[in-house]
């Protein structure tokens, strides 16, 4: 029972595949996703802090301005 040429070529591709590069790429991708989420959370915290520091009417006027330009 022998293997066909196509099957042998696929097996060779698997053996030559650089698994460490694939793993490194996956880790970098997940790290980037985690960093983006951390940035988003930080932005939300900054907004929450500004709400405490700025007068209450500041955000209502900003909301009206924001809706008028979009």
In a domain, 13, yes or no: no
Task: Tell me what pLDDT residue 64 has.
Answer: 55
Residue 59: partners with Cβ closer than 8 Å, 6 or more residues away: 51
In a domain, 8, yes or no: no
Task: Tell me what pLDDT residue 12 has.
Answer: 75
How many domains does one find in the chain?
Answer: 1
Task: Tell me what pLDDT residue 55 has.
Answer: 61
> Which pTM value belongs to this model?
0.40
For residue 25, give its domain range: 18-69
In a domain, 3, yes or no: no
In a domain, 24, yes or no: yes
Task: Tell me what pLDDT residue 68 has.
Answer: 54
Residue 30: partners with Cβ closer than 8 Å, 6 or more residues away: none
11-69 per-position pLDDT tens digit: 777 777 777 777 888 888 888 888 888 888 888 887 777 666 666 555 555 555 555 55
């Amino acid at each position: 029972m022998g293997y066909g040429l196509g099957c042998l070529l696929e097996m060779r591709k698997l053996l030559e595949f650089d698994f460490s590069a694939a793993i490194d790429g996956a880790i970098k991708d997940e790290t980037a996703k985690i960093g983006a989420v951390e940035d988003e959370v930080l932005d939300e915290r900054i907004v929450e802090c500004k709400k405490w520091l700025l007068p209450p009417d500041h955000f209502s006027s900003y909301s009206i301005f924001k809706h008028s330009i979009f």
